[in-house]
Copies of this chain bind each other. A is one copy, B any other.
Amino acid sequence: MEFDTRIGVSEPDKIYVHGYDLTEDLIGEITLADMAFLGAAHRKPSQQESKMLNACMVAICEHGFTPSSISARLTYLGAPEAVQGAVAAGLLGAGSVYLGAMEYVAQMLQDGLKKVEDENDVQIIAAQIMEERAKKGLQLPGFGHPIHRPIDPRTPKLFALAEELGFSGKHIALMNEIHRQFCEQKGKALTLNVAGAIGAVLSDMNLHFSVVKSFAVAARAVGLIAHIVEEIETSRKDCMAQKLYDFVEENTNYKNTKSARDKGE
C-alpha cells in the first residue's frame, strides 16, 4: 500500500512542498495566500496572480460580527484551552448560505462557457443561463446584499484590480452581462455582491469552481484570529461572548408551561 501525493515530503535537511524546496523557494519568497494557490494550481503564482488572490482573500476575510465569528467567540468562552476549536466552530458556519454563492457563481460561469461554441457572445450565454435557471427554479447566485445597495464597494474594486492585473476575461464579462440583464429584467439596480465578484475573478484566474469554497474557508480562518484576539484582550466578564450569553439568558421567553404539558399527556 502506497499513498501518492504531490504535496510534500521531508528529508533530514530538506523539505519539499509542491515540488519546491521550502526553505530556498518558498519561505521569505511567497505569501501565505500563494500557498493556497500552490495547493490548487500546483505551481507558484505569478506576481499578478499573487496580488489578485491576496486581494480576493483579504476581501472576504473579515465581516465583523457574523454567525460564524459569534460562534467562534462563544466557543472560545467555553473552551479557551483549545483555540483550534474556536476557529473550527467559526468555520463550520461558513456553509452554503454565506459562502456557497462564490462557488455557485464560479460553477454557473464555468459551466455556462463550456457549453457554448462562441465564448465571445456573452449576451446570448447570459440569457441562456438565466433562462435555464429560471426553468429549474434556481436563484441567480452572486446578487443582492442587505447593506451594500445598489453597489457592493468590493465589487468595482476587485474588477478594477482584475483589469489592471490582466485577469479581466470572459467570466467577468459574462457575470457583468448577467448582472445587466438581471437588473433590466427586474427593472431596478441590483447589487452584484462580493461573492459574485470573486466567483468571476477566480474563474478568470483559471481556478476550478470546486476549489473556490476552500479558499473562502481558509480566508475566514485568518479573519477569525481578530475575533479570538478581541475576546482574549477583553476581561472574561466583559467579553462579547459572555455579554451576549447573559443577554440571551435574561431575555429568554420560556413558552413550554407545565400545565400545557399536563394537558398533553
Chain A interface residues (CB < 8 Å from chain B): 1-23, 26-28, 30-36, 38-40, 42-44, 51, 54-55, 57-59, 61-68, 70-71, 74-75, 77-89, 91-99, 147-149, 151, 153-154, 157-158, 161, 210-211, 213-215, 217-230, 232, 240-241, 243-245, 247-249, 251-258, 260-261, 264-265
Q: Is the CB of A81 within 8 A of B84?
A: no
User: Which residues of chain B come closer than 8 Å to A252, judged between CB atoms?
Assistant: 2-3, 5, 9, 64-65
Q: Is the CB of B71 within 8 A of A243?
A: no
Q: A77-B93, A253-B2 are in contact. Are A87 and B30 (CB under 8 A)?
A: no
Q: Is the CB of A10 within 8 A of B226?
A: no
Q: Is the CB of A78 within 8 A of B97?
A: yes
User: Which residues of chain B come closer than 8 Å to A38, judged between CB atoms?
Assistant: 226
Top-8 shortest CB links A-B:
A79-B95, A39-B226, A19-B261, A221-B221, A8-B64, A78-B93, A9-B254, A82-B82
Q: Is the CB of B62 within 8 A of A77?
A: no
Instruction: Tell me the complex Cα distance, A19–B6, Å.
Output: 41
Q: Is the CB of B26 within 8 A of A58?
A: yes
27 interchain pairs (CB within 8 A)?
Answer: A2-B251, A2-B252, A3-B240, A3-B248, A5-B252, A12-B147, A22-B59, A27-B58, A27-B158, A30-B54, A31-B58, A35-B223, A40-B229, A43-B265, A65-B252, A78-B93, A78-B96, A86-B92, A88-B91, A89-B89, A89-B92, A91-B91, A214-B224, A214-B228, A215-B225, A221-B222, A244-B248
